[in-house]
Every structure is written in C-alpha cells, then in structure tokens.
Amino acid sequence: MNQNDIPQAIKNGKTILGIEFGSTRIKAVLIGEDHTPIASGSYAWENQYENGIWTYSLEDIWTGLQESYRQLTNEVLKNYNVPLQTVGAIGFSGMMHGYMPFDQGENLLVPFRTWRNTITGQAAQELTELFQFNIPQRWSIAHLHQAILNQESHINDIGYLTTLAGYVHWKLTGQKVLGIGEASGVFPIDSRTNDYDAGKIKLFNERLAAENVSWKLQDILPKVLVAGDAAGILTEEGAKLLDPTGQLQAGIPLCPPEGDAGTGMVATNSVGERTGNVSAGTSVFAMIVLEQPLSKLYPEIDMVTTPAGKPVAMVHSNNCTSDLNAWVELFQEFTQALGVEMSESRLFEMLYTKALAGDADGGGLLAYNYLSGEHITHLEAGRPLFVRTPESRFTLANFMRVHLFAALGALKIGLHIFEQEQVKIDQILGHGGFFKTPEVGQKIMAAAMNVPISVMKSAGEGGAWGIALLAAYMLHKSPNEPLETYLSNKVFAGEQGTTIAPDPADVDGFTAFMERYKKGLIIERAAVDVL
C-alpha cells in the first residue's frame, strides 16, 4: 500500500483491526486495504499460578486490551498524523480452550482457568470414552465436566460458558458467539453441519440429568459461526471498553472470535486440505488439514477445525520455549555480571545459532522442558530437567541443541501417528518465536518432522494479523468465495519465504535423541513425584 494513501484509508475507515490475546503478549495490528500491517501495539502479560490454577485476572485482560490498542493508536498518530476513530472491521482472537463460566448476572463464577491447567484428567478420560472422540484436558467441556465431578458449588449457577476470545467479543458486542475453530476446542464439532455435534450434546445432557444439573448444555454454549459470517457490531459500551478516550466510534462490524490455532492457520495460509502449520512458542502444536478422517481415536490427537469448518488433526504440547527462554535469561544475567552489553535478541540469535555447531544427537545430553504438565507423555505436572552422563559431550553447542530438541520432544511423540495414518502433507509452514532466528528453528523442526519447513516473511505477524485477515475476509469476500481462495489469491499471492529441507544427519541425530528422551521419561516421572 502506498504510504501516501494510508492516512486517507485510516480517515475513511478502510483499515482492519485484529487483536490477539497470546500467552505472553496481547498484540493489536492494523492492516491496510492490501492486507499488510500499517501499525501495531502490544502488552506483555504472564499467567499467574494461584491456588493450584493457571489464570489471568479480568483486570489484566482489560488493562492489556486497552494498552495494546492505545499503543497502536499512538503509532497511527505518530506515523500518519491521523487519529484512529473508526475501522472497517474488527476481530478478536485468543488462547483456545479454558474455562470462563458466568452466572445470569454476567459475573465470572470462578477465576479464568486457562488451557495450561492439567487438572481435568478424570473428566477428559470419561468424556473420551463416552463420546469415542478424544477430549483433551484443556478443552472447555473437560473443565466443565471436572467441575461437576468435583461437585463445585457454582455449577447450577452457570448461565453462559465461553473462552477468552468469546468473553472479550461478548463484552464489546453483546453477542454470545464463537468462530467454529475456537468452538471446536470447546466441544466436538460436526463438520457436516458446522455446529456442535448433536449426538454428543445429547450424551452429555444425559450425564447432566443424572447429576441433577438444572440447565442443558446447548443453553450455555456460544452460538457457532464460520469464517465470513457477521458476528455483531461494536456497541457504545464496547467502544469505551476498547478505547476509554472515547475517540473510537461504535457500529463497527466484527468477525467471529477465533482461537490462536485458527488464526495461525490463516496467518500461514494453511486452511486448505493437505496443508499444515506448526506454531512454536510457549506451547507448540502442529495442525494438518485432513482429506479424510483418521481411522480411529487417538488420545494424542485433537480433532479441531479450520475457521471455515474443515476437519484438522492437531498435535499439541503444553511446553515449548518457556524453559529454553529461562536458560537464555540466565546467560543474560551472566553477560550483565561480566559488564558485557548485549541485547536479549542478539543473545537469542547467538545461542540458537550455536546449536547448529553441536553434535547431531546433542552429544548424549538430555533435557525435559516441562514447566507444566504434559498430556502426551502422561505427566500431570512439570519439572524442568537437564541430565547428562560422565560420557556426555557437555558443550555450549550441544547444550543449546538439546534444549531446542527438547522443546519438540513431546510433539514428536504425537507426530508418529500422522506417519502411521499415512496422512498426506504437501506443505508445512512454521511460525512463532521458535523460528525467529533465521534457519535455526526451521532446521531443527525439519529434523523433527522429517518434512521441509517453510517460513514466510509475514509469519512473524502471527495471530493478530490472522484475525485481522478473517475480519477482512468477512468484509471483502466475493459471494461463495472460499476462505482458502481468498487467502491464496488476495493475501498471499507472490508471498516470499524460505524453505529448508530436512538434513539426513539432523534427522538421524534427532531420532537418536528421541530414543534417549523416551527412555528417560521415568526420570521426569520421578521428579514430578518427589519434588
């Protein structure tokens, strides 16, 4: 988009606003008519571990939303000398799953329980058996069923159950809705009807009746919408919640709120069959859009959907870069103690690049990055560990390489299933902090997945850009234009990126590491039990 045209586009409301609530950052992105970002703002936040629950406060949600939007509007004013008073459309995205139950008076009944909690093991197992469909611990329905099993006092007071993205959207529009990709992490979806699976709703309602619960499930869940659907408009109250200065005008249309998995698919143009993406940051997940359903139920595989409702097989690991980041912070302390000035980004780049010089298998070292529990390896809590033997080759390069390997260890265990099912994959695109240092994350991920990994220049824009694209699709799509066609022809045409094929030596090295990793899980189990 021509720089001279941007101020007029802002003034005329020709821009699109996307905001995503990530695990460590709330990011706002404003895009122009050509779908490229023209301004952004962000707010750093962290989940809190309170009374055995990973949570974020409602106050933090609204403080973070307003601050990220304020930064964006300041950037717009500074760079284009135009106040931001309206946009063409808005979209909200957030961490999927979790548990936010409200009563009829719109009061949150218990603190927000995020996806990171691994406290719903009994419920997840019971529902998986009941539905013959994998229900992971982090899904909203697992949290709800566990609360019922625990006989928590708030159950009969529930009037509405939603997710973080759904909550923010509701408060800004009054609409109790979810995009289908986000909804598919709340309760199983029937891709033939693009709605919650009616048969499974019936089975759950029978459980509710047996427990003498006063409501039915369909009465408390948000309505399911697909990409392109209208999802309400910004109310006067909502405009003030987003922009307390009063500059932002009400009446702006919103697209359905989506989860970070769905916006990741959109931001990497991975919504068509036989495409996939892997998102690696605080958590890591690989998502493949399927041509046909898997042959059977796999506890390690989540079945979700694209924002348009196509079935997606997803391998999700709770832990990825958090422990790795903690080690880099330790090295940062060391550089500061030496009096050496080095930015955090430069230190990350140096240490990540060092990993490429390590032994293919990481020199016999072993690490577990489990800051929280890990369902794929059946651990209800996490204890980060670094282990070596007297024979291990303990060098900085091997140390970094093994921690990069460990970030993908649990993911790799789940990925074996795609190989067994002979799932066809034409394209895998990577995004997230793991890929920020050029080539390193791609080479390690290619070794783990044994397929070429592409990273597009735009991938760093992430989910906030992805939800902005979904809002643009709602506003600008042609009649009957599928989401994948819109993205390929109007957003990603001519998009440049890099592709790295797996190096056979790296693949063999990662395979050797994984043998060590699987044998050593008993050490992690012992650490959880005794520490």
Confidence of residue 134 (pLDDT cuts 50, 70, 90): very high
Share of the chain above pLDDT 90, in %: 84
pLDDT score recorded for residue 207: 96
Q: What is the mean pLDDT of residues 137-143?
A: 96
For residues 396, 399, 405, 409, the Cα torsion angle rounded to the nearest 10 degrees is -170
What angle do the packed helices 121-131 and 198-210 form, to 10 degrees? 120
Contact call for residues 211 and 151 (beta carbons, < 8 A): no
Q: How far apart are CA 471 and CA 349, in angstroms?
A: 34
Residue type, 366: L
Residue 208: how many CB atoms within 10 A of its CB?
17
- Half-sphere exposure of residue 284: CA atoms within 13 angstroms, side-chain side: 31
Q: How far apart are CA 410 and CA 318, in angstroms?
A: 9
Q: What is the mean pLDDT of residues 230-241?
A: 98
Residue 139: partners with Cβ closer than 8 Å, 6 or more residues away: 97, 124, 185, 186, 187
Could you tell me the two tokens for 59? 């106050």
- Burial bucket for residue 185 (CB in 10 Å: 0-12, 13-18, 19+): buried
Give 488's DSSP letter.
I
Residue 116: partners with Cβ closer than 8 Å, 6 or more residues away: 23, 47, 54, 138, 283, 318, 372
Confidence of residue 504 (pLDDT cuts 50, 70, 90): very high
pLDDT score recorded for residue 1: 65
Confidence of residue 31 (pLDDT cuts 50, 70, 90): very high
Q: Among 101-105, 158-162, 284-288, which stretch is predicted with the lowest mean pLDDT?
A: 284-288
Q: What is the mean pLDDT of residues 283-307?
A: 89
Q: How far apart are CA 47 and CA 24, in angstroms?
A: 8
Q: How far apart are CA 190 and CA 199, in angstroms?
A: 9
Beta strands in 217-338 (DSSP E): 223-225, 258-259, 275-280, 284-289, 302-305, 311-317
Confidence of residue 426 (pLDDT cuts 50, 70, 90): confident
Q: How far apart are CA 411 and CA 405, in angstroms?
A: 10
